[in-house]
């Protein structure tokens, strides 16, 4: 009798992208051709030509990184329905982490909906535990969680009985069309009666006893003179506390606004972990960040749809996606520093050096809690702690959550979430990839998690500044991807992919210079573009047409509009010359020892009355954009006067300057807006001073 072969839990597919590859090569050819042209004609031109050469060389380098990253896109398909037939009784336990830090910027109503959606996932409740980390130590958050636990005793059975698909109550009850959220028996009289009861109960928050996953509230000790390392520190405390209480072999972490949108997501993730022939194939499973109630045409360009579709899937085809900070499942033993070659060997899990680790060395690694060291040993063997009474572990949990527990240990350096960057997620993922692990990308239908995207100018810019700051912090540190490739096991093209994202901040400098060049040339009556009668101008026109057609094609293929594409193009320039530039300045100040970088929490909003309208505040982050706007307005006026005086028309430079004005259209409207829709007078005054000084210096240098 022939042996039966079990069907795979997931499959991997390579995408065919011949048209995209052809356009990639075409753009790269045009860029390199223009660089050679500038080099050959450099002696016949001045400063503007040299600066343009340097900027375009940088753009070419970034395009090489881009092409390398997106060259081999890959898709995965999971089959969670095959799990019950094989390992339903042996499904591993999962500890789920939710982090929040500020009850004002992150309202508890949003956080509690995320918590309750996790409690209601389709997975054995006795194998789940949900931990909420409240870094703000807010009584409001704590009592909100108590009330949520009462409602969950009614809500979770209701969702599972009727196979409700959207299990975040605020999303479920705010929808007028429940058909896509329900099972086939949703029209029954019994369902209608229980549905009404739930909506009443959501207001009254009364509960009855029922089987639910463990729900644990964690607020770690923090003192002013002790570094607490922001979110990374909170995640390490959650790791230690959960290791003492439940010690599940797998962990999921989500931001407080990322609720479960697909109740089968834990099973989808288990398809990768349990379906891999080699454990080293999957250190973590990353899901994309997708947002609910996205504004039409994505006016702030922060929906990340195209980024995940092309760059994201390209990275998946390398060593695996970056750790995105939320919606990520990982093996606990990987967080504890295990390398793929050391699977099953606790004695050498931290370093490739063989030999036994004595008690003193273990204390130096994990801290002075013998209970936690024991739980770590169990985790490396994937043994799960399931105490009958969670309170038995409370004393040890208090100990490992103390602010001084990590001193002199490997936490934040060799084990746990990594310290030293405000983008602790990417740094932690880099550390894991550098050990030789791989990661996979999980994008089920419907999407696994949904969150709320930043709305308004200040919120979007603050988030982008934090990303640029943290990524650049990693690049200038000893834990950058180049060192991880030379001294670790990071693959070369994965290193290039990391460089592509780490260079976001530095891209602000050449892009800012390129934005200033047309105004400088108009003021000084010089040029950085070939003349209209120069054949080289056709190369620039071809590059402009092909690149924009290419990026527009990506948007149209993902179902987005032309307006969404344009919004992304202009916001990319606004972000680069504003938020990213200040990210670079923050890192420079840190290197000089003047000030340290700060983790800035992003405002979480469910809805806003001014959705889609660009807003401003008094932050200096809006000074560069305002300055560029005023500079190009001034240069265009001066260019028109030059034409009147009989001087030649700088057609290319004036067209470029006009394009910059169009990109900064929200700032142009902000000059005449009021309140938060207008640019503050202090910002305008600063920009006027900068522009006046620049024009004076340009005129003075041209006369000299």
**Whole-number pLDDT of residue 248:** 93
- pLDDT tens digits, residue range 435-465? 999 999 999 999 999 988 777 678 888 889 9
350 and 235 within one domain:
no
* Residues that are catalytic: 135, 425
Residue 382 lies in a domain: yes
Instruction: Say how many domains are in the chain.
Output: 2
CATH number of the domain bearing residue 295: 3.90.550.10
351 and 219 within one domain:
no
269 pLDDT exceeds 80? yes
**Whole-number pLDDT of residue 88:** 62
The answer to whether the CB of 597 falls within 8 A of the CB of 649 is no
351 and 334 within one domain:
no
Please give the span between the terminal C-alpha atoms of the chain, in angstroms, as a whole number.
94
**Whole-number pLDDT of residue 203:** 36
Model confidence band, residue 355 (pLDDT cutoffs 50, 70, 90): very low
Residue 473 marked in a binding site? no
Average pLDDT over residues 250-264: 95
Residue 511 marked in a binding site? no
323 and 415 within one domain:
yes
The 3-state DSSP class for residue 575 equals helix
624 pLDDT exceeds 50? yes
Residue 255 marked in a binding site? yes
**Whole-number pLDDT of residue 700:** 79
Q: Which helix (H) or strand (E) holds 240?
A: helix 230-245
Pairing state between β 74-78 and 10-14:
antiparallel
Task: Report d(CA 78, CA 290) in Å as an integer.
Answer: 19
353 and 315 within one domain:
no
648 pLDDT exceeds 80? no
393 and 282 within one domain:
no
322 pLDDT exceeds 70? yes
174 and 231 within one domain:
yes
Calculate the CA dihedral of residues 667, 672, 674, 675 and round it to 10 degrees.
30
**Whole-number pLDDT of residue 650:** 75
320 and 362 within one domain:
no
- pLDDT tens digits, residue range 428-439? 999 999 999 999
Model confidence band, residue 207 (pLDDT cutoffs 50, 70, 90): very low
Q: Of 85-89, 318-322, 663-667, which range is least confident? A: 85-89
354 and 260 within one domain:
no
6 pLDDT exceeds 80? no
**Whole-number pLDDT of residue 665:** 93
The answer to whether the CB of 461 falls within 8 A of the CB of 666 is no
**Whole-number pLDDT of residue 389:** 63
Task: Report d(CA 303, CA 300) in Å as an integer.
Answer: 8
Task: Report d(CA 43, CA 380) in Å as an integer.
Answer: 64
Task: Report d(CA 570, CA 515) in Å as an integer.
Answer: 12
173 and 292 within one domain:
yes
Residue 523 lies in a domain: no
Residue 304 lies in a domain: yes
Model confidence band, residue 55 (pLDDT cutoffs 50, 70, 90): very high
492 pLDDT exceeds 90? yes
Q: Note the Cα 434 to chain centre separation in Å.
A: 20
- pLDDT tens digits, residue range 523-550? 998 889 988 888 889 999 999 999 999 9
Residue 324 lies in a domain: yes
Residue 137 lies in a domain: yes
The answer to whether the CB of 456 falls within 8 A of the CB of 608 is yes
**Whole-number pLDDT of residue 87:** 60
Average pLDDT over residues 417-421: 93
Q: How many CB atoms lie within 10 A of CB 550?
A: 16
Q: Which domain holds residue 448?
A: 93-340+411-457
Interacting residues of 217 by C-beta distance below 8 A, sequence separation 6+: 131, 132, 134, 142, 145
Residues 569-606 as b/e (b if ≥16 CB within 10 A, e otherwise) read bbbbbbbbbbbbbbbbebbeebeeeeeebebebbbbbb
> Which of 402, 426, 457 is the endpoint of a domain?
457
User: 623 is written with which tokens?
Assistant: 């000074």
406 and 421 within one domain:
no
Interacting residues of 68 by C-beta distance below 8 A, sequence separation 6+: 493, 496, 497, 500
Pairing state between β 449-451 and 10-14:
unpaired
**Whole-number pLDDT of residue 343:** 59
243 and 161 within one domain:
yes
Cis peptide before 227 (omega within 30 of 0): no
**Whole-number pLDDT of residue 612:** 74
Residue 231 marked in a binding site? yes
Model confidence band, residue 605 (pLDDT cutoffs 50, 70, 90): low
């Amino acid at each position: 009798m022939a042996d039966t072969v079990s069907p795979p839990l997931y499959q991997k597919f390579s995408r065919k992208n011949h048209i995209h590859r052809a356009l990639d090569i075409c753009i790269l050819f045009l860029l390199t051709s223009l660089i050679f042209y500038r080099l050959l004609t450099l002696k016949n031109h001045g400063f503007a030509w040299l600066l343009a050469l340097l900027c375009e060389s940088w753009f070419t380098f970034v395009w090489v990184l881009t092409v390398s990253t997106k060259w081999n896109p890959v898709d995965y398909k999971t089959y969670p329905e095959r799990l019950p037939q094989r390992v339903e009784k042996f499904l591993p336990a999962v500890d789920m982490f939710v982090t929040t830090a500020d009850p004002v910027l992150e309202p508890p109503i949003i956080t509690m909906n995320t918590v309750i959606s996790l409690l209601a996932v389709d997975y054995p409740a006795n194998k789940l535990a949900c931990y909420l980390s409240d870094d703000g130590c807010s009584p409001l958050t704590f009592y909100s969680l108590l009330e949520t636990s009462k409602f969950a005793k009614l809500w979770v059975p209701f969702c599972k009985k009727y196979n409700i698909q959207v299990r975040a109550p605020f999303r479920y009850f705010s929808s007028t069309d429940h058909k896509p959220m329900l099972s086939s028996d949703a029209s029954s009289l019994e369902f209608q009666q229980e549905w009404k009861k739930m909506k009443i109960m959501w207001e009254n928050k009364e509960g009855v006893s029922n089987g639910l996953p463990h729900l644990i509230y964690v607020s770690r000790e923090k003192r002013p003179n002790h570094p607490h390392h922001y979110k990374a520190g909170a995640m390490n405390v959650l790791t230690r506390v959960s290791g003492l209480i439940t010690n599940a072999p797998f962990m999921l972490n989500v931001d407080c606004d990322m609720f479960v949108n697909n109740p089968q997501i834990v099973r989808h993730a288990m398809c990768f972990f349990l379906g891999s022939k080699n454990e080293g194939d999957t250190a973590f499973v990353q899901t994309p960040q997708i947002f609910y109630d996205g504004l039409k045409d994505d006016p702030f360009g922060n929906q990340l749809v195209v980024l995940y579709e092309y760059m994201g899937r390209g990275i998946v085809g390398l060593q695996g996606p970056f750790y995105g900070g939320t919606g990520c499942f990982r093996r606990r033993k990987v967080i504890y520093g295990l390398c793929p070659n050391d699977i099953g060997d606790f004695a050498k899990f931290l370093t490739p050096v063989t030999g036994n680790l004595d008690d003193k060395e273990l204390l130096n690694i994990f801290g002075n809690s013998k209970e936690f060291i024991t739980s770590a040993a169990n985790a490396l063997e994937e043994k799960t702690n399931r105490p009958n009474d969670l309170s038995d572990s409370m004393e040890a949990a208090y100990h490992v959550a103390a602010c001084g527990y990590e001193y002199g240990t490997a936490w934040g350096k060799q084990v746990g979430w990594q310290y030293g960057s405000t983008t602790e997620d990417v740094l932690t993922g880099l550390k894991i990839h550098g050990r030789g692990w791989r990661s996979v990308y999980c994008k089920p239908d419907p999407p696994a998690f949904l969150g709320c995207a930043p709305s308004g100018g200040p919120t979007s810019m603050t988030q982008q500044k934090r990303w640029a700051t943290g990524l650049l912090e990693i690049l200038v540190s000893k834990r950058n991807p180049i060192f991880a490739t030379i001294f670790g096991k990071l693959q070369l093209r994965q290193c290039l992919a990391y460089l592509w994202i780490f260079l976001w901040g530095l891209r602000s400098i050449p892009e800012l210079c390129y934005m200033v060049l047309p105004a400088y040339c108009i003021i000084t009556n010089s040029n950085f573009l070939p003349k209209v009668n120069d054949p080289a101008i056709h190369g620039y026109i071809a590059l402009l047409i092909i690149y924009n057609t290419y990026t527009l094609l990506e948007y149209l293929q993902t179902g987005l509009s032309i307006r969404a594409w344009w919004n992304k193009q202009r916001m990319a320039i606004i972000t680069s010359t504003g938020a990213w530039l200040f990210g670079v300045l923050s890192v420079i100040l840190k290197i000089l020892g003047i000030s340290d970088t700060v983790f800035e929490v992003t405002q979480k909003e469910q809805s806003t009355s001014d959705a889609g309208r660009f807003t401003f505040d008094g932050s200096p982050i809006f000074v560069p954009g305002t300055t560029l706007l005023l500079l190009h307005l001034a240069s265009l006026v001066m260019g028109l006067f030059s034409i009147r005086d009989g001087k030649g028309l700088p057609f290319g430079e004036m067209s470029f300057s006009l394009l910059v004005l169009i990109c900064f259209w929200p700032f142009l409207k902000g000059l005449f807006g009021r309140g938060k829709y207008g640019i503050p007078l202090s910002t305008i005054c600063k920009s006027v001073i900068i522009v006046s000084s620049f024009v004076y210096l340009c005129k003075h240098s041209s006369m000299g």
